[in-house]
Amino acid sequence: MEFLRDHASFVEPSTSQTSGDVPASGVESIAAKNRISELSAEVTHLRELLGKAKAINDGMWDSVVQQIVNGQKEQAQDAKGDDELRRRKRSRGT
């Protein structure tokens, strides 16, 4: 019989009051609300950081793409200039 009573007190939630007039479940609810508020603030902060990181990443990609495009244009112009130079040299030889 004593075992069942001990088991029941262990398994069932405590009905004693832990803080003044607020029951234990109320304290847990307040703690949960506080934790939710903290996590919401952290999510907001992390979203701001993500936005900044995305802007930096987009800027870097734009810079890399522009360098590649400009490099390809220069290579195409250099190749065109080399072709013209070769044609001129060939025409002199004949």
Residue 17: what residue type?
A: Q
Amino acid letter, residue 62: D
pTM above 0.75, yes or no: no
Task: Name the residue ranges covered by the structural domains of the chain.
Answer: 21-93
| Measured distance CA(89)–CA(83) in Å, rounded | 10
* Percentage of residues of the chain with pLDDT beyond 90: 41
Per-residue pLDDT reduced to its tens digit, 54-93: 999 999 999 999 999 998 888 888 777 777 777 776 766 5
What SS3 class is residue 6?
Answer: helix
Separation of alpha carbons 67 and 74, rounded Å: 10
Long-range contacts for 39-42 (Cβ within 8 Å, ≥24 apart)? none
